[in-house]
Amino acid sequence: MNDSPYRTYRVGIGVSLVLAALLATLSLIAVATPNLGWGVVALATIALWVGLPLLLVLVLAWLRYMVRQRGRVPGRVHALMFVPTVAAMLIIPLWQSLQHTWSTVAGGSRDPIAERHINLSGQPLWLDTAPYASTGSGTGPDLPMQGDTPGHFVAFHRYPNAQSDADRAFPYEEGRLKRSVDHYRYATPSGDRAVTDVPLVRQPYPDTTRFNTGWGRTGTPELVHLYYHYSDHVEVAPTLARLSGSTADDLQRSRFEGLVLFTIHNYGSAPIVRMEANGIALDIGDRAIENIPAAPADCTAYGYPAGVALLPLDLPLQVRWQTVDAPTQWHSARVQVPAFRQAQPLPGQSTLQRVLLYVLPDGMLAAERYAEVFDGDTWRGIKATGLPASAAAFARCGSARAGYGDDADAVLSD
């Protein structure tokens, strides 16, 4: 740095090294902490508020040197000003590539497994979180899972590691439950696995092969394993997790068809803790679908998101659900989802079909179909079949249009 070729560029080179050190530190924290959770937000905030200004200073310094030297800046200076930053930015992708390679060689998968647990046993339960687990906040799940609040679910991701691969204790392989797993083994308060376990009833995995050819990305949207804990057994239902906004946008841009996004208005007498459509489990989120109080109470929900599923809508749906007041009893109803009168989609109409299910006080169901419509990236409105007549007497939260607030003025009639 004291050599004459570098002395006149020391400010730019110094900024480059500081920026590279910052990015390297943030990247190493990220790769060394796989259960970082919401800590990612803190790292991203630091990168934006500190790293971005440093990058701007670096570029301005480089431009000044180029003007001052009339483009005759030594190649070594170019390298010192940009190579360290680029190398720091490559830490995370290189680490991910190494992880993938190691997983392939070791015959295992380092991908985290999404689990959601619903306690319908009436007893406190210590869940198996080995070798470690992380909630969305970056901490471990709050255990035991209480039995007197079945409407509050416990959601987390479980992470395998080299030790779990070696002792074969991790129940998943390549992101799916091993075929040999037929019991659920609970943990003890100390975190160790207990000797006692209960039978595990398994539902099949959803057929996701259509994503391989119809979606712009590789793989599929995230799967979540829904564990329903009863007094004498556990049922696990793998299903598609609720879509993030970016995933939904990506599917829309890919013109992916056949995926149904469900929302719920629960006018029944109790919160819903489990729901299926045509035998496919729906991911209703981290808590029960609360029931909307009887009139004249105000609306308390505008379409509670209730998961996604690959299924046709031209035939009636067979829907069943369980509630907090009778968690072992199934309620069942058959409903025909109305079709749009205009067979051809409107320009910009979303290929993701949306269905609003109305759970009525008499145990029956009604359904409304709707689809979002865009002009490029500009919101235009929704195309909807309208409030079902059978739900009109109970629909204090309105139809699907009500969930769009002021944008409902732009609704396009079917």
Give the tens place of pLDDT for each residue, 128-180. 888 878 887 667 788 889 988 999 999 999 888 766 666 677 888 888 899 98
Residue type, 62: W
Give alpha helix (H) positions in 283-386. Answer: none
As a whole number of Å, the end-to-end CA separation of the chain is 70
Closest CA to 314 of 282, 278, 350: 278
Matching residue, tokens 């919160």? 271
Structure tokens at 38: 């919401």
Closest CA to 92 of 18, 25, 21: 25
Beta bridge partners of 45: none
pLDDT given at position 129: 85
Distance CA 364, CA 389 (A): 13
Residue type, 114: A
Closest CA to 302 of 315, 318, 285, 289: 289
Q: Fill in the DSSP letter of residue 337.
A: P
| 269 within 8 A of 364, measured Cβ to Cβ | no
pLDDT given at position 284: 93
Structure tokens at 275: 């729901």
pLDDT given at position 293: 80
| 172 within 8 A of 178, measured Cβ to Cβ | yes
Distance CA 357, CA 366 (A): 6
| 143 within 8 A of 65, measured Cβ to Cβ | no
Distance CA 187, CA 292 (A): 36
Distance CA 251, CA 249 (A): 5
Closest CA to 361 of 267, 263, 264, 265: 267
Distance CA 363, CA 194 (A): 40
> Residues in the chain with pLDDT < 50?
1-3, 104, 106-108
| 124 within 8 A of 145, measured Cβ to Cβ | yes
pLDDT given at position 1: 46
Closest CA to 100 of 113, 110, 112: 110
- Mapped onto helix, strand or coil, the DSSP state of residue 121 is coil
Which tens digits make up the pLDDT trace of 224-282? 999 999 999 999 999 999 887 778 877 877 788 888 999 999 999 899 999 999 999 99
